[in-house]
Amino acid sequence: MKRRVVVTGIGLVTPLGIGTEQTWSALLNGQSGVGPITRFDASDQASQIAAEVKGFNPEDWFEKKQAKNLDAFVQYAVAAADIAWKNSGLSITDDNVNRVGVITGCGMGGLPTIEEYHGVLMNKGPRKITPFFIPRVIPNMPSGHISMRIGCKGPNLTQTTACAAGTHAVGEAFRHIVYGDCDVAITGGAESVICPLAVGGFSAMKALSTRNDDPTTASRPFDRDRDGFVISEGAGILVLEELESAKRRGAVIYAEVVGYGQSSDAYHIAAPPEDGEGAARCMAAALRDAGMNPEDIDYINAHGTSTPLNDKCETLAIKTVFGAHAYKLAVSSTKSMTGHMLGAAGGIEAAFSVLTLHHGIIPPTANLQTPDPDCDLDYVPLVARESRPKTAMSNSFGFGGTNGVVIFKRYA
């Protein structure tokens, strides 16, 4: 009999707030986390805006000396995991220590640290490189530090699949529990690469919005006037747990994880195929895994990056999979408020999908003022919608043509 998996903890560190409640409240109010870049002088950059995490104090989670030796993406991940773990009510015991795993996603790792210490190497020589350089930059450090922080000794993995990494992490964690490799998994994504090299690199690809004079409206998925995504940072972590374990201890169950799909476009390093067929295959695979028909899905948290190509192609993919039901679905892109957190996006958006089911409120697509004629679905424009969706699908599609989809169901 297939083991069932539920969500019993949620932790968020985002440009909308430190903590799940603060972030969720801001999201429902349509609040934007985007503003001018403050991390460095961006005056010579084509894109001068970002969704930065504000008010984060590393010393709330780490001793000052330790915090100094951790890149921000690791700090955010550990903080979000700490919030999620406490929210779950779980604790490590002799009985479960080997049955709790950590599976996280990250797109680029400690790029700001690489940038910083390349300067040190060039200006001061190799002997001035800190011995913490390598442990600060490698992408699996969030999962390593989370396991050390909480004391869990189960599977410990990192997915590095660009903008699909967080979703792949959640999906793999789900499967680890289904297959019996662990009973609990701390999972999600983390990213922090708001630095000159990343902003310059994405700008060179013409991927970022240049709406520098109006940052809060720059991320506008499915809008006719969208011109690129807004780079963002943060961490979103879920605690997944085998259902019987959660029931035995009387845990709060936010939602059930019921399906996971993966696919490859095999098409282009950055662009999706124009008909969105890779994304469509991925959504169909998640539906098969869940044993669901397309008509069973009520809400989709779209990848919805605010780039001209992605939003059109994702819309086409949804129509391919859902047919006439596509026009009955609620679809929204929370990136309209958070910006695009790259490898963290899937973790954050999985959490938003779960909270949508738990609270019965669908977050809006902010800034959708003039819909693109090619994007003609119900994107829940501008204002959150009270509803009682029973199911939610969360989409993530990454450079290299890698796709991931997870499906959640309201637990009853």
Query: Of residues 303, 313, 358, 375, which has the active-site annotation?
Result: 303
Domain regions of the chain by residue span: 1-401
Residue 156's nearest CA partner among 99, 103, 208, 209 is: 103
Whether 145 is catalytic:
no
- Going along 131-273, which residue ranges are E strands? 156-159, 184-191, 234-242, 255-264
| Complete DSSP assignment for 94-136 | TTTGGGEEEEEE-SS-SHHHHHHHHHHHHHH-GGGS-TTHHHH
Q: What is the pLDDT of residue 194?
A: 98
Instruction: Write the pLDDT tens digit of every residue in 158-189.
Output: 999 999 999 999 999 999 999 999 999 999 99
**Residue 402: its H or E element:** strand 402-409
Instruction: Write the pLDDT tens digit of every residue in 197-234.
Output: 999 999 999 999 999 999 999 999 999 999 999 999 99
Question: Is it the case that residue 323 has pLDDT exceeding 90?
Answer: yes
Query: Of residues 163, 195, 282, 313, which has the active-site annotation?
Result: 163
Contacts of 48 (CB under 8 A, 6+ apart): 36, 37, 42, 212
Residue 205's nearest CA partner among 345, 115, 309, 58 is: 309
Question: Is it the case that residue 1 has pLDDT exceeding 80?
Answer: no
Query: Of residues 145, 168, 176, 340, which has the active-site annotation?
Result: 340
Give the integer Cα–Cα distance in Å for 290 and 259: 4
**Token duo for residue 284:** 């169909």
**Token duo for residue 169:** 């992490």
Give the integer Cα–Cα distance in Å for 392 and 348: 14
Residue 239's nearest CA partner among 104, 333, 72, 53 is: 104
Instruction: Write the pLDDT tens digit of every residue in 12-25.
Output: 999 999 999 999 99
DSSP state at residue 279: H
Give the integer Cα–Cα distance in Å for 47 and 96: 48
Q: What is the pLDDT of residue 412?
A: 81
Residue 353's nearest CA partner among 280, 290, 407 is: 407
| Burial status of residue 22 (CB atoms within 10 A of its CB: 0-12, 13-18, 19 or more) | middle
Superfamily assignment of 1-401 in CATH?
Answer: Thiolase/Chalcone synthase (3.40.47.10)
| Inter-residue contact 99 to 3 (CB < 8 Å) | no
- Going along 3-111, which residue ranges are E strands? 5-14, 17-18, 35-36, 49-50, 100-105
| Inter-residue contact 189 to 166 (CB < 8 Å) | yes
Which residue would you say has higher pLDDT here, 345 or 412?
Answer: 345
For residues 302-328, average pLDDT: 98
Strand partners for 385? 362
**Token duo for residue 185:** 């998994």
Q: What is the pLDDT of residue 411?
A: 95
Give the integer Cα–Cα distance in Å for 90 and 102: 14
Whether 340 is catalytic:
yes
Give the integer Cα–Cα distance in Å for 31 and 144: 33
Q: Is residue 342 helix, strand or coil?
A: helix
For residues 290-310, average pLDDT: 98
For residues 318-345, average pLDDT: 98
| Inter-residue contact 408 to 394 (CB < 8 Å) | yes
Instruction: Write the pLDDT tens digit of every residue in 355-366.
Output: 999 999 999 999
Residue 36's nearest CA partner among 204, 233, 214 is: 214
DSSP state at residue 347: H
Percent of the chain with pLDDT over 70: 100
Mean pLDDT of the chain: 97
Alpha helices by DSSP H, 261-392: 277-290, 308-322, 335-338, 345-359
Whether 303 is catalytic:
yes
